[in-house]
Structure 1
Amino acid sequence: MKWQGRRKSGNVEDQRAKGSGSKGKLVAGGGLVAVVVILLQLFGGETGQQIAPLVEQIGNSQTTQQVQTRELTNEEKVMGNFMSTVLADTEDVWNKIFSEYNLGNYKEPKMVLFTDAVSTACGSATSASGPFYCPGDQKLYMDLAFFDELQTRFGAKGGDFAIAYVTAHEVGHHIQTILGTSNKVRQLQSQTSKTEANKLSVAQELQADFYAGVWAHHNKKYLQSGDIEEAMSAANAVGDDTIQKRSSGSVNSDSFTHGTSKQRMEWFMKGYNTGDIRNGDTFSALIN
């Protein structure tokens, strides 16, 4: 991906120089994130966003955090600039799309770069969570060490566009939040069985993959040979079926929450090939 010397986003909060004294120490009792997620699913919308900071405040009162600061390495600084450029690209694309489709003003999300552990409106989390989006504060949280794991643990090809794909996927969840999709999903999940709730989760995740593809379509002028293959390799590596086969040797489709490797690749490519957000109704395609 061509990114050097281009515009960088002003919506990046780099917390990597402020690592916790002990990896994973930030999580209070191991259950805080789960509690907040349940509350957000039950209440959603503005109520959920009001609840999350309150629970987070309780969690922080139970946590002892030893903060250390350090100088970022040159490699870390380069990665920070790359992430800021990717976020800027998503801002440019989605501002344009929102205007073209009369969706109102696009509210740009912030991106938080962290190491080991982080405090969010959705609870405290460690790097084991992987990259995630928190609807409570509308921020993307990225521990960049995950992308090493994507290769070493999950077997992905790697490359800078694999990172861009994951970032664009998380931005996709932001799109779902500001368009009201995420709130509707949470409401439906609270009224149905676990199996059906999982299907809704799969549809939501595949739509985020579709949105990542739409972004790539509108960002073609900066793509290089092999970039789409890197994204496909990453999508394949994190499919539910692939992960379950690797971890247990068997597959249980009822427990899927993100979709199969094939589905994730197909929906990304559908977004990439069409560039049209009107083709991203994964819910009608997957749920009867």
Structure 2
Amino acid sequence: MTFNDDANIRGGRVSRRGRNAAIGAGGGGLVVLALLVLGPILGVDLSGLVPLVNGGGTTTETGDPLEGCLTGEDANASVDCRMQGAATSLDLYWETQVDGYVAPALDLFGGSVQTGCGNATSAVGPFYCPPDQRVYIDTAFFDQLQTQFGASGGPLAQMYIVAHEWGHHIQNIVGTMNGLNLQDTGPTSDGVRLELQADCYAGAWVAAASDVEDASGIALLKEPTDAEITDALNAANVVGDDYIQENLGDGTVNPETWTHGSSEQRQAWFRAGYSGGPGSCDTFSTNNL
């Protein structure tokens, strides 16, 4: 998806942290919530890496604000600026959908980062931390999607990843996460339902993004092409649990261990949001995932 060159993208709370920086004060390790459900978009169960902890801390420092990310032209030319533009568009969209919307922050980092959920490395993948209401992304993950996962890539595939994590922020602030059993796994588990809803929210934003305008009335993004939608769906495909188990694991597909949903489920719920908006994203009251 392409930004309009003259669009003003200076809205999102995006910063860049130094490589291998350990910044701020946090818990001793990522909470299971962040690891198992909200953490890796990779679809891998990392809950065994750390003990369950309660809460964690909040970050006391942030990275440096992005420089030179002013217009849509900048977003089309730079991954960092594309993250700035995506964050701006997502904020403008969700503030029209959620009463009392509070914007999250987006921290770009390399290597490792300390968060309100504890310390994390790039191996965790993009994640959202509920205690500090921040999305964390090592943008090298976008290259990994192509080189390791075999994704076709493209700007909209990258922004789908960001929009998915924004979906977790929506779930956090509206209370969807409350009372869920996030330690169970499987294709109909609460964790999978949470992930599929975030995919659906991402699709809803993509469908509406070309209508989101800056303060001057310029649309931030152009309407996505069929090829760009295909790229986004391809990204959803390669981060499906079954795809990862079959292609990046030992080749055995075990649905009972799924934490994010199958490729088919993830694509289907992205399409549901794209065609029906956020109101079509109730993954918790349906038996047909």
Which runs of 5 or more residues in structure 2 are unaligned? 37-51, 61-66, 69-73, 212-221
Query: Which has the larger helix fraction?
Result: 1
How do residues 79-158 of structure 1 correspond to structure 2 at under 5 angstroms?
79-98=79-98, 104-158=99-153
Q: State the one-letter code of the partner of 2:167.
A: G
Which runs of 5 or more residues in structure 1 are unaligned? 42-47, 58-70, 99-103
Give the alignment partner of residue 57 of structure 2, picking from 39, 53, 56: 53
1:50–1:243 CA distance, 2 compared to 1 (3 A) = closer
Aligned CA RMSD, in angstroms, stands at 3.2
Matched, 1:33 2:29: yes
Q: State the one-letter code of the partner of 1:12.
A: V
| Contact preservation (8 Å) 1:93, 1:215 | yes
1:177-208 per-residue CA deviation (whole Å, 9 max, x = no partner) reads 001011232xx347xxx347971100000000
| Contact preservation (8 Å) 1:33, 1:125 | yes
Max Rg structure = 1
Q: State the one-letter code of the partner of 1:113.
A: L
Q: State the one-letter code of the partner of 2:237.
A: N
- Give, in whole Å, the separation in 2 of the partners of 1:125 and 1:201: 20
| Contact preservation (8 Å) 1:165, 1:231 | yes
Identity %: 40
Matched, 1:201 2:196: no
| Contact preservation (8 Å) 1:40, 1:49 | no
Deviation at 1:238, TM superposition (A): 0.4
| Contact preservation (8 Å) 2:2, 2:155 | no
Give the alignment partner of residue 205 of structure 2, picking from 215, 230, 234: 215
1:241–1:196 CA distance, 2 compared to 1 (3 A) = closer
| Contact preservation (8 Å) 2:33, 2:182 | no
| Contact preservation (8 Å) 1:40, 1:52 | no
1:224–1:218 CA distance, 2 compared to 1 (3 A) = closer
- Give, in whole Å, the separation in 1 of the partners of 2:265 and 2:187: 18
Q: Which residue of 2 aligns with 1:273?
A: 275
TM-score (norm: length of structure 1): 0.76
1:286–1:128 CA distance, 2 compared to 1 (3 A) = farther
Deviation at 1:10, TM superposition (A): 4.0
Give the alignment partner of residue 175 of structure 1, picking from 170, 175, 188: 170
- Give, in whole Å, the separation in 2 of the partners of 1:81 and 1:195: 36
1:77–1:223 CA distance, 2 compared to 1 (3 A) = closer
Deviation at 1:286, TM superposition (A): 3.9
Aligned residue-pair number: 246
1:52-99 per-residue CA deviation (whole Å, 9 max, x = no partner) reads 118x89xxxxxxxxxxxxx99x9998222111001111011111122x
- Give, in whole Å, the separation in 2 of the partners of 1:37 and 1:278: 29
Q: Which residue of 2 aligns with 1:233?
A: 234
1:135–1:77 CA distance, 2 compared to 1 (3 A) = farther
1:129–1:195 CA distance, 2 compared to 1 (3 A) = closer
1:121–1:49 CA distance, 2 compared to 1 (3 A) = farther
1:204–1:286 CA distance, 2 compared to 1 (3 A) = farther
- Give, in whole Å, the separation in 1 of the partners of 2:132 and 2:150: 32
TM-score (norm: length of structure 2): 0.76
1:77–1:137 CA distance, 2 compared to 1 (3 A) = farther
1:286–1:244 CA distance, 2 compared to 1 (3 A) = farther
Q: Which residue of 1 aligns with 2:285?
A: 284
